[in-house]
Chains A and B, each alone.
Chain A
Amino acid sequence: MKKPLIDYKVIKKQLLLARYESKRLLGHPFRLLFLLLLFFVCIFIGQLTVQENQVLPTVVIVDEDRSIEVRTFVENIAYNKLKNVAVFKEVTLEEGLDLLDREACIGVIHIPKDTRKNLDSLKPSEMRLYIRDAEDIRVHFLRDYMADMVALLNEGQSGAMVYWHEMSRQALPYEEKIAALEDIAFDYGLAFLTRGDVFANHGVKDPYNGMSMLQFLGYGLIWLILFLSAFFAQTTVIADEKSGRRRRLMTAGYTEADYFGARLIFGTVFSCLWCLILQSIYYLFFDIALLPFSLTRIGLFLWIIVLINGFLVVVLRHYQRPKVLVFSGSLLFVFAYSSGLLIPEFFLPTWARFIGQWNLVNFGDNLLKGYALWTWRTLNLILYTGALYISYKHLNEKVVAK
């Protein structure tokens, strides 16, 4: 007799088994609490890191000149180019040096009185930079940047003076010398004042691809917890084998496909519930929505979850020797590492990035992060599905033939 396309008896069996598997898992709340605890600990550590990064060093500006040109220069630096790197504070020189002594700032830029006037009349005028040495790499960066700016300004002034003397040696008329100097000052000032965005010009890549660190961490953590929860959920396969429960189900009218199907349903539902719980926690505590709501993405998300659960069932069901489990565990660690869940791919070594390209967890992570869905990745998912089907079939035949 031809089998019906949808066999409700089979669905009923699988759903009941899946339901009881969930109940069984809920009978061990410590596993679930452990996962929640892990989630909160990771977020807490992440937040500490973020807060630490948010404490920007203070730079003091002592502007005794107060000319429009110097103001433009100060505002350009302080409130435009370096606003994300340092906090700028304008105080008197005495206060500034006091702050430096008390290590309340990392440097003092001193623009003496009449700087603009001296520059106009070609008298020497020097901007001064007082700095405090520190370990922080940002302090080093700022110190170098400020020293560079001050040196540039001073060198520009020296260059103009050299040019003035050269023109005097050539006995050029005063008006001509002034006109030439004004041209130089204009070009120089333009270049100086509009010196572009330092970060863009230095090509610093954003490792979080436009996300905040907390957002990045949120996506990674969700996948990590999903992965671990799927692992925890499916480890009962080992107990089923050892206690003879699975074998017993086979004598009670269940088939291997029923058992496998029930495991996939239970694992997928469990992972999805976790995803919703973690997402809600993230939304409630940090006001950050993580899941991109599109049918394609949700479909692919489910597909990946099913595949991960499927591979876990096959591996745990057929390879239960301690050595194999240790090897599989190490492999999972490499997979988790190379997927760039918690460490941005930007910082990963080449070999890890290569593995990451073929990594199911990485696909899922990228999916949540809203990266482009490459066609070849979807093709890879089809290949993974094929591989899962073949391993499932092959290993089942092996078991029956024992």
Chain B
Amino acid sequence: MIRVENLSKQLNKRKVLKQIDFHLQEGDVLGIIGPNGAGKSTLLSLLGGFMKADEGIVDCGDHRIGYIPQQLALYEELTVIENLKLFGVGTCSDDQILMARVESVIEALKLTDNKEVKVKKLSGGNKRRVNIGIALMIDPTCLLMDEPVVGVDYKVRSDIEDLLKEMSASGKTLIIASHLKSFIAEVSTKLLIIEDGKVAYFGDVNEEALNRL
């Protein structure tokens, strides 16, 4: 279970998040939406432990947390395999297990044909796939995603949606921040709407809630 209670954070003398509360169960897919600057990325950073909260509690239990940032945080000069290996070796020192994991991620993300290609030579959509693949290398039980389908075509978006549904079905908890309501509606089971740093809505995904924004 993931528990967030009374969470507040101030950045550059501005209160970005104010008393945020929500709870998630295993397998939940939480979509976080809100206008630009609402505090979505800050909330992900606090959940990932990259920032310390000013007030409140973030309890992620025993979750292994994977993080997919909005930017393509990849090593462009390295190949797909090298990127995955680099991010996998931090948690797995056995070469055989590591390579097996690399291969399974490559297969899951449909990158087999491009596995030896340098990332800088990949299309935007394939770069997004590698970006997701890196987070999968640690075999996370909870995945934080910041705008995972921004700038991708319909085909890649559809593949990513399928992959996320598959992960959710396997019991992984997903937390996705996006400004694309249609994407959130497609993959999420829970919805968190943040407005002006506060929780404007938290509950099941429904059209009425999505239309609040």
* Residues of chain B within 8 A of A28, CB atoms compared: 77
Shortest beta-carbon distance from A107 to chain B in Å: 64
Are B85 and A9 within 8 A (Cβ)?
A: no
* Residues of chain A within 8 A of B118, CB atoms compared: 27
Against B, the Cβ 8 Å flags (1 = close, 0 = not) of A208-250 are 0000000000000000000000000000000000111101111
Instruction: Tell me which residues from 100 to 149 in chain B have a Cβ below 8 Å from any Cβ of chain A.
Output: 118, 120, 134-135, 137-138
Q: How far is the CA of A336 from the CA of B51 in the complex (A)?
A: 38
Instruction: Tell me which residues from 2 to 53 in chain A have a Cβ below 8 Å from any Cβ of chain B.
Output: 8-9, 12-13, 16-17, 20, 23-24, 26-28
A27-B77, A245-B73 given as contacts; is B89 within 8 A of A251 (CB)? Answer: no
Instruction: Tell me which residues from 238 to 284 in chain A have a Cβ below 8 Å from any Cβ of chain B.
Output: 242-245, 247-254, 258
* Residues of chain A within 8 A of B36, CB atoms compared: none
Q: How far is the CA of A24 from the CA of B83 in the complex (A)?
A: 11
A245-B73, A248-B134, A250-B50 given as contacts; is B93 within 8 A of A9 (CB)? Answer: yes
Which residue in B72, B88, B91 is a CB contact (below 8 Å) of A243?
B72
Instruction: Tell me which residues from 34 to 92 in chain B have a Cβ below 8 Å from any Cβ of chain A.
Output: 48, 50-52, 65-67, 69-78, 82, 85-91
Are A20 and B134 within 8 A (Cβ)?
A: no
Shortest beta-carbon distance from A104 to chain B in Å: 60
Are A247 and B50 within 8 A (Cβ)?
A: yes
Q: How far is the CA of A254 from the CA of B92 in the complex (A)?
A: 11
Are B93 and A402 within 8 A (Cβ)?
A: no
Q: Does A401 sit at the interface, judged by CB under 8 A?
A: yes
Q: Does A200 sit at the interface, judged by CB under 8 A?
A: no
A23-B77, A24-B77, A243-B73 given as contacts; is B87 within 8 A of A248 (CB)? Answer: yes
Are B52 and A402 within 8 A (Cβ)?
A: yes
Shortest beta-carbon distance from A284 to chain B in Å: 30
* Residues of chain A within 8 A of B51, CB atoms compared: 402
Q: How far is the CA of A242 from the CA of B69 in the complex (A)?
A: 11
Are B89 and A244 within 8 A (Cβ)?
A: no
Size band of the B side of the interface?
A: 20 to 34
Q: How far is the CA of A252 from the CA of B71 in the complex (A)?
A: 17
Are A251 and B48 within 8 A (Cβ)?
A: yes
Q: How far is the CA of A91 from the CA of B102 in the complex (A)?
A: 86
Are B52 and A401 within 8 A (Cβ)?
A: yes
Minimal Cβ-Cβ distance residue in A for B138: A252
Shortest beta-carbon distance from A4 to chain B in Å: 13
Shortest beta-carbon distance from B130 to chain A in Å: 12
Shortest beta-carbon distance from A394 to chain B in Å: 16
Q: Does A400 sit at the interface, judged by CB under 8 A?
A: yes
Shortest beta-carbon distance from A263 to chain B in Å: 14
* Residues of chain B within 8 A of A16, CB atoms compared: 85-86, 89
Q: How far is the CA of A250 from the CA of B69 in the complex (A)?
A: 13
Are A251 and B138 within 8 A (Cβ)?
A: yes
A243-B72, A247-B50, A251-B67 given as contacts; is B78 within 8 A of A24 (CB)? Answer: yes
Shortest beta-carbon distance from A184 to chain B in Å: 85
Minimal Cβ-Cβ distance residue in A for B86: A20
A23-B77, A247-B50, A248-B134 given as contacts; is B89 within 8 A of A13 (CB)? Answer: yes
Minimal Cβ-Cβ distance residue in A for B72: A243
Which residue in B70, B87, B93 is a CB contact (below 8 Å) of A249?
B87
Q: How far is the CA of A245 from the CA of B90 in the complex (A)?
A: 14
Shortest beta-carbon distance from A250 to chain B in Å: 7
Q: How far is the CA of A400 from the CA of B49 in the complex (A)?
A: 9
Are B77 and A251 within 8 A (Cβ)?
A: no
Are A247 and B69 within 8 A (Cβ)?
A: yes
* Residues of chain A within 8 A of B134, CB atoms compared: 248, 252
Are B90 and A253 within 8 A (Cβ)?
A: yes
Minimal Cβ-Cβ distance residue in B for A24: B77
Which residue in A27, A244, A254, A400 is a CB contact (below 8 Å) of B90?
A254
Minimal Cβ-Cβ distance residue in B for A247: B50
Q: How far is the CA of A258 from the CA of B87 in the complex (A)?
A: 13
Are B87 and A244 within 8 A (Cβ)?
A: no
Told that A20-B86, A247-B69, A248-B69 touch, could you supply 5 new A-B pairs with CB distance under 8 A? A249-B90, A250-B50, A252-B87, A258-B90, A402-B51
Residues of A participating in the B interface, judged by any CB pair closer than 8 Å: 8-9, 12-13, 16-17, 20, 23-24, 26-28, 242-245, 247-254, 258, 400-402
24 contacts between A and B (CB under 8 A): A13-B89, A16-B86, A23-B77, A27-B76, A28-B77, A243-B69, A243-B72, A243-B73, A243-B74, A244-B69, A245-B73, A245-B75, A247-B73, A248-B67, A248-B73, A251-B135, A251-B138, A252-B90, A252-B91, A252-B137, A253-B89, A253-B90, A253-B91, A253-B138
Question: Which 5 pairs between the two chains have the least Cβ-Cβ distance?
Answer: A253-B90, A27-B77, A253-B91, A244-B69, A244-B73
